[in-house]
Amino acid sequence: MERAIDSTGTGPAPLRADAWAQRLRTHFAGVELTDVAADCFQGRVSGRAMAGGSIWRMEGCAQVLRRREPPQRAPAPLKLLLQLRGASHMAQGGRNCELRAGQFSLLDGERPFELRMDTEFAQLLLCLPRTATLSRYPGLAWRTARGSREESAGDQLLHSYLSALAERAQHLDAAQLGHAQMALQALLGGSSLLAPGRSSASQLLAQARNLVALHLSDSAFNAESVARQLRVSRRYLDQLFSAEGLTLDRYLWVARLQQAALALTETPGASVTSICHACGFSDAAHFARAFKRQFGMAPSAWRARARA
């Protein structure tokens, strides 16, 4: 493979551990190395470019890799990790999983994570081009830190492919690696990584709703703003909200109207125009028409009925 770090030499183990940490930071910007067995350290990593991403083989002794802050450069890749030997503990986004030999999982390079290896290990790490991968599989970045399933036929197929790639990648030329990347992208679609994930979907829906609630008074805040802050596509958010019979745009619109309806009954001293603006509507006439379509009466009539 084209790029390599080897810290298995005969020098003092603590010096090898220091050199390893420095070189990892060079190749994987922002990643910290901690809890290293410095008295007996050894490690090796080798990698090469792979059609907009890269492929790496890593092996070493007990250690912990962490990213605490988002990378300075963007977009950071998605990382598909196959455990070849030993075990590792992965944590990201409030989820944790243990990977045994033969299992794989995803990490998002743009968010903090921890990867802990308590014994000697070997791993295959594929850095997937972020934009191309997420345009094909919106929301994949939120399916991290969940191990593959032995009972999943799609996972079995992807595991077989990754294992073969680990053995043969160093013998493939650039064009062949490009085709390998395309095949990998296709196989991802059949894996459990893209199976409906209630926990991640529910978490994302809750975050979207919280953002909407926090920005109801901001007329410039829209569905694209939600998607941008959550770092997912607008289309994926619309898919999540479709279970409720809404698009994200419609959810935001209805949330503003419901907030206005509540304000009309609970703040009798506030004018209809001030409530209109406080709920993110910039045009009072437009607000009045939308309110009547939603509730069947004008804002003033709604307030009068509440007083009756």
Q: Tens of pLDDT along 3-24?
A: 555 555 555 666 667 777 777 7
- pLDDT at 308 > cutoff 70: no
Q: Boundaries of CATH 2.60.120.10 in the chain?
A: 3-195
- pLDDT at 135 > cutoff 80: no
Q: Boundaries of CATH 1.10.10.60 in the chain?
A: 199-307
pLDDT of residue 198: 45
pTM for the whole structure: 0.62
pLDDT of residue 39: 64
Q: Are the C-beta atoms of residues 54 and 127 closer than 8 Å to each other?
A: yes
pLDDT of residue 15: 67
Query: Distance of alpha carbon 199 from its chain centroid, rounded?
Result: 13
Q: For the chain, give the percent of residues with pLDDT over 90.
A: 37
Averaging pLDDT over each range in 45-59, 150-164, 241-255, which range is the top one?
Answer: 150-164
Query: Distance of alpha carbon 142 from its chain centroid, rounded?
Result: 4
Structural Rg of the chain based on CA atoms? 25
Q: Predicted confidence band at 218 (pLDDT cuts at 50, 70, 90)?
A: very high
Question: What's the mean pLDDT in 220-225?
Answer: 94
**How do residues 140-161 score in pLDDT, each as one tens digit?**
888 899 999 888 888 999 999 9
Here the tokens at position 69 are 């802050």
Give the strand pairing for 53-60 and 31-34: unpaired
CATH superfamily of 3-195: Jelly Rolls (2.60.120.10)
Greatest Cα pair distance in the chain: 88
* Fold (CATH) for 199-307: Arc Repressor Mutant, subunit A (1.10.10)
Q: Are the C-beta atoms of residues 230 and 207 closer than 8 Å to each other?
A: yes
Long-range own/partner contacts, residues 1-4 (CB < 8 A, 24 or more apart) = 1/46, 1/47, 1/48, 1/55, 1/57, 1/169, 1/170, 2/47, 2/48, 2/49, 3/27, 3/46, 3/47, 3/48, 4/44, 4/45, 4/46, 4/47
